């Protein structure tokens, strides 16, 4: 265990966290695998589960190492957007404006209608999620529209991230939502409208890990009848196994 004087924050949190997590997992086992618990309720539970923070402020700034960034420095990087819309910037974009940006910047991979091209992600789908390995597109899977804004803003276009203006990101977000028939053609995306969108799969997640969900025992002898041992699938002759993908490392050959 940690010594309290040296690691006050970690100690209190770690101990409290382990206890609380253990209790909540035990209490939740009865309804595993968690079906039907509304996501908002789970989110509340997630926050309540999290242990109280007990801070000994004597450690703050103790080493004096590093610098304290100002608001401008923090603002330059702090872009993660959460479901409540915090950190969404000013600007706005329409479905029509988004279509223009999308056709130019996105359709090459994602398809003009968001159908996905050459294995790149499909963006639009109303497929049910009960099939075998269902396609996870925005309309049928993503729980928050804010996640869409955040991802486009931080990572897209694939080859040129951080090249779109906030209003362009709003516009593309509006267009992708419209492709999924989640917003009307005259929808305007901005920092107020995006957090209010209720996505179809918002409650489709199990946020508490229901594992272990297998409960084998380490049987040692006669664990199954020998004649029950049968090969159900083999990779022998598999044509999808790469043999020599390379190039082999030249290792500085002269």
Partner 1 sequence: MTDDAHPHQPGSPAVTEPPGRPLRIGRRGLGGRAAVAAGAGLFATSGLRHAARPAPPRAGAAPPADPAWSRELGPGVDDHPYGQPSRYVRDVIRRPVPWLTQTTESSVSFTPLQDQPGIITANGLFFTRDHAGRPDVDPATHRLLIHGLVDRPLLLSLADLQRFPSVSVIHFIECPANGATEWRGAQLDSLQFTHGMIGCAEWTGVRLSTLLEETGLGRQARWLLAEGADGAHMDRSLPLAKCLDDCIVAYGQNGEALRPEQGFPLRLLVPGWQGSLNVKWLRRLEVGAAPWYSREDIVDYTEPMPGGLARAFDWVLYAKSVITYPCPERRLAGAGRYELRGLAWSGKGRIRQVDISLDGGVNWQHATLQAPVLPKALTRFTLPWSWDGRPALLQSRAVDETGFVQPTISELRTVRGSGPIYNNNAIQTWQVKPDGRVFSVQLA
Q: Give me the 100-129 binding string for partner 1, x by CB under 8 A, dash otherwise.
A: ---------x--------xxx-------xx
Distance between CA 160 and CA 127 in Å, rounded? 30
CB nearer partner 1, residue 100 or residue 107: 107
Distance between CA 54 and CA 127 in Å, rounded? 46
Q: Does 27 bind partner 1 (CB under 8 A)?
A: no
Q: Is 94 helix (H, G, I), strand (E, B) or coil?
A: strand
Q: To the nearest 10°, report the CA torsion of 59, 60, 66, 71.
A: 170
User: Which residues, other chains included, contact 101 with Cβ-Cβ below 8 Å and sequence gap of 6+?
Assistant: 164, 168, 171, 172, 175
Q: Does 196 bind partner 1 (CB under 8 A)?
A: no
Q: Does 60 bind partner 1 (CB under 8 A)?
A: yes
User: Which residues, other chains included, contact 104 with Cβ-Cβ below 8 Å and sequence gap of 6+?
Assistant: none
Distance between CA 36 and CA 28 in Å, rounded? 13
30-49 residues near partner 1, rule: CB under 8 A = 33-35, 43, 46-47
Shortest distance (Å) from residue 203 CB to partner 1? 9
CB nearer partner 1, residue 78 or residue 186: 78
129-168 residues near partner 1, rule: CB under 8 A = 129-134, 136, 141-144, 146-147, 150-151, 154-155, 158, 161-162
Q: Is 98 exposed, middle or buried (0-12, 13-18, 19+ CB in 10 A)?
A: buried
Q: Does 245 bind partner 1 (CB under 8 A)?
A: yes
Q: To the nearest 10°, report the CA torsion of 184, 189, 192, 197.
A: 40
CB nearer partner 1, residue 73 or residue 186: 73
Shortest distance (Å) from residue 122 CB to partner 1? 12
CB nearer partner 1, residue 161 or residue 186: 161
CB nearer partner 1, residue 184 or residue 211: 211
CB nearer partner 1, residue 69 or residue 112: 69
């Amino acid at each position: 265990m940690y010594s309290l004087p040296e690691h006050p924050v970690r100690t209190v949190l770690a101990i409290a966290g382990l206890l609380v997590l253990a209790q909540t997992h035990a209490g939740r086992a009865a309804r595993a695998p968690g079906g039907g618990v509304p996501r908002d309720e789970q989110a509340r539970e997630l926050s309540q589960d999290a242990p109280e923070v007990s801070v000994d402020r004597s450690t703050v700034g103790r080493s004096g190492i590093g610098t304290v960034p100002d608001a401008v420095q923090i603002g330059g990087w702090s872009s993660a957007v959460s479901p409540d819309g915090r950190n969404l910037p000013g600007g706005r974009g329409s479905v029509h404006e988004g279509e223009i940006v999308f056709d130019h910047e996105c359709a090459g991979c994602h398809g003009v209608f968001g159908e996905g091209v050459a294995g790149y992600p499909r963006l639009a789908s109303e497929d049910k999620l009960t099939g075998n390995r269902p396609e996870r597109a925005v309309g049928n899977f993503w729980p928050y529209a804010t996640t869409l804004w955040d991802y486009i803003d931080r990572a897209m276009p694939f080859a040129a991230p951080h090249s779109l203006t906030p209003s362009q990101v709003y516009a593309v977000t509006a267009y992708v939502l419209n492709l999924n028939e989640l917003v009307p053609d005259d929808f305007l995306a901005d920092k107020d409208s995006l957090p209010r969108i209720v996505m179809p799969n918002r409650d489709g997640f199990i946020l508490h890990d229901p594992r272990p969900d297998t409960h084998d025992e380490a049987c040692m002898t006669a664990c199954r009848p020998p004649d029950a041992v049968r090969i159900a699938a083999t990779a022998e002759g598999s044509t999808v196994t790469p043999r020599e993908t390379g190039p082999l490392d030249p290792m500085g050959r002269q």
